[in-house]
Amino acid sequence: MTKTLLWLIILSSFVSAFTFDIWKSSISFSEAISIAKSENIPLAKTNIIHMSKRFNQKLLYLKKYPDNREFYYKSKLLGEFSETNLYFTKNSKKLYKIKVRWNLSGKKNKILIEKLYQLLDKKYGKSKKIIPSNIGDFVFFKKRQWSSNKEMTIRSKSSSSGIEIVYIDNIESKKNEDEKKAMKIIKELNILEQDSQKF
């Protein structure tokens, strides 16, 4: 009984809300670096523009933006060039969101959107259309959502110039918001403590 319980605890710690390609939500940033290195993925901070097609550790760190938790790489998906963005929580540095973007127009864009909708509908069930409250979004973008539950949400946003798919680990995303709020409170308390002696 004790061994079974121990295994359940161990297995539950590795459960991820979503999987996209080789990425699983809630992996740590160091695990993501190991994956990128072993798969030779040119993962880089979002602030770095580069032409590298291979893994380069230098692209992951930037002194000017030490707290940046957003990274990207470019690859071919469904026969078209795409950009994949990985988002990590502020403090615990766990993967909570992935966004994939294709910049296409015309017939290629329409064909890709149809393919993506078919793939996602087959895997996660029929999507629901989202009606944006913002008039600009309503006019220029079409939004859909799949599998919105306690663990995961998948959304798409398409226009005449491309499409993006976003996978969200709802639990890790909530942790990220909590971590941001906690850091803001600590910062405000530190400022208050520093300035209190001035009064």
What pLDDT digit, counting tens, does each position of 116-151 carry?
Answer: 999 999 988 888 888 766 676 666 888 999 876 788
The reported pLDDT for the residue numbered 12 is: 39
Count of structural domains, the chain: 1
pLDDT of residue 72: 95
Per-residue model confidence (pLDDT) at position 47: 82
Provide the H-helix boundaries in the chain: 2-13, 29-38, 106-124, 135-140, 170-196
d(CA 26, CA 196) in angstroms, rounded, equals: 40
| 60 is a domain residue | yes
pTM value surpassing 0.75 = yes
Determine the Cα angle at 173 with ends 88 and 125, to 5°: 110
Give a yes or no: residue 2 inside a domain. Answer: no
- 1 in a structural domain: no
Residue 106 gets the label, from left (phi > 0), alpha (psi -120 to 50) or beta, of: left
Residue 132 in domain: yes
Q: Is residue 68 part of a domain?
A: yes
Distance CA 172, CA 131 (A): 26
- The answer to whether position 65 is within a domain reads yes
- In the prediction, which pLDDT does 181 show? 79
As beta bridge partners, residue 143 has 130, 157
Please report, for the chain, how many H helices and E strands are present, in that order: 5, 10
- d(CA 116, CA 78) in angstroms, rounded, equals 9
Q: What does each of the 199 residues of the chain score in pLDDT, given as a tens digit?
A: 444 333 333 333 456 788 999 999 999 988 999 999 999 999 999 888 888 899 998 888 756 555 668 999 999 999 999 999 999 998 888 999 999 999 998 999 999 999 999 999 998 888 888 876 667 666 688 899 987 678 889 999 998 899 999 999 988 888 878 777 777 777 777 776 776 666 7
What is the distance between the alpha carbons of residues 81 and 104, in angstroms, rounded to a whole number? 9
The boundaries of the domain holding residue 156 are 7-196
How much is the pLDDT for 63? Answer: 62
The pLDDT score that the predictor gives to residue 168 is 93
Pick from 82, 49, 69: nearest CA to 59: 49
